[in-house]
Homo-oligomer: A and B are copies of this chain.
Amino acid sequence: MIREFINKHKPTILYGISLALLLFLLKWLELRFIIINHIFEIYAGAIALLFTGLGIWIAMKLTKPKVETVVIEREVLVEKKHFQFNEQQQAQLGLSKRELEVLNLIAEGLSNQEIAGQLFVSLNTIKTHSSKLFEKMEVKSRTQAVEKAKRLSLIP
């Protein structure tokens, strides 16, 4: 408890003690001062220098260290999870929103009938979409479309 307090306020205590000692020293020097009157400036200068040093020392002890944060990035191999959709490709191929939707469902392995059910449209509509999709993507089958779409980051 007491030790902790001493440790915490060590600089302050030391400063106090130093000040007290200096004052005693001054008192003692005062006697001499009467005798050797003309060294007063030197005396004051000495005090100034001494306490400047003390100030520096205190500053060194007290200043909070600046915290510099170094972030080390460790690479961790992971399954593909991040997927950044390639809008440029979509624009370049001229794929519509609906076509992209169909493409995604095709990639999930759904049949045209299932896709039609999922999107609440007829089978023929899905066929039309996929046809146009294949035409735009310059492929001939759903499997090729999926393969190419993955390469072009149109689907995860």
CB of A109 to closest CB in B, whole Å: 3
Name A41's contact: one of B26, B53, B145 (CB within 8 Å). B26
Question: Does any Cβ of B come within 8 Å of A36's Cβ?
Answer: no
CB of A102 to closest CB in B, whole Å: 12
Name A109's contact: one of B47, B52, B147 (CB within 8 Å). B147
Binding site of A, secondary structure by majority: helix, strand, loop or mixed? helix
Question: Does any Cβ of B come within 8 Å of A144's Cβ?
Answer: yes
Question: Does any Cβ of B come within 8 Å of A92's Cβ?
Answer: no
**This chain: how many copies in the complex?**
2
Question: Does any Cβ of B come within 8 Å of A4's Cβ?
Answer: no
Q: For A19, what are the chain B residues with a Cβ–Cβ distance below 8 Å?
A: 45, 48
Q: For A110, what are the chain B residues with a Cβ–Cβ distance below 8 Å?
A: 143
Q: For A141, what are the chain B residues with a Cβ–Cβ distance below 8 Å?
A: 109, 111
What sequence of 0s and 1s flags, for each residue 55-86 of chain A, a beta carbon within 8 Å of any chain B beta carbon? Answer: 11111100111111111111111111110000
Name A146's contact: one of B54, B66, B146 (CB within 8 Å). B146
Name A74's contact: one of B50, B71, B80, B140 (CB within 8 Å). B71
